[in-house]
Amino acid sequence: AQRVTQPEKLLSVFKGAPVELKCNYSYSGSPELFWYVQYSRQRLQLLLRHISRESIKGFTADLNKGETSFHLKKPFAQEEDSAMYYCPPRGPNNAGNMLTFGGGTRLMVKP
């Protein structure tokens, strides 16, 4: 069964500091991982997916199959990055679009 662990419930950093939100997963088969973000009073929305290998809003995430991790990183945090972040895996393949959410990490970027 898919399982994801986000060890930090709250991560507080100062503006301009690097930030890393940790995500560890257990997965059967080929993992499909995402980062979703929920800003205050907004809907949950996709930030990036593991196959993208692109930077979205300055965030990147690398899938490390050896360590079974998919940490989200940004070199210089901005106040507008303050939000709730989730890294749910999708699947398994016969489970349609089911996402398995962990507890999430609340990122607070202080001025």
Partner 1 sequence: KAGVTQTPRYLIKTRGQQVTLSCSPISGHRSVSWYQQTPGQGLQFLFEYFSETQRNKGNFPGRFSGRQFSNSRSEMNVSTLELGDSALYLCASSSGTGVFYEQYFGPGTRLTVT
Residues near partner 1 (CB under 8 A): 32, 34, 43-46, 49-51, 86, 88, 90, 95-104
> Closest approach of Cβ 107 to partner 1, in Å?
16
Pairing of strands 45-49, 34-38: antiparallel
Nearer to partner 1, 41 or 111 (CB): 41
> Closest approach of Cβ 44 to partner 1, in Å?
4
Nearer to partner 1, 17 or 95 (CB): 95
What does the alpha-carbon distance between residue 39 and residue 47 come to, in Å, rounded to a whole number?
A: 11
Rounded to the nearest 10°, the torsion over CA 25, 26, 29, 30 is: 10
Q: CA separation (Å) from 77 to 2, 31, 73, 100?
A: 30, 28, 9, 27
Nearer to partner 1, 17 or 98 (CB): 98
Nearer to partner 1, 39 or 76 (CB): 39
> Closest approach of Cβ 36 to partner 1, in Å?
8
What does the alpha-carbon distance between residue 103 and residue 83 come to, in Å, rounded to a whole number?
A: 13
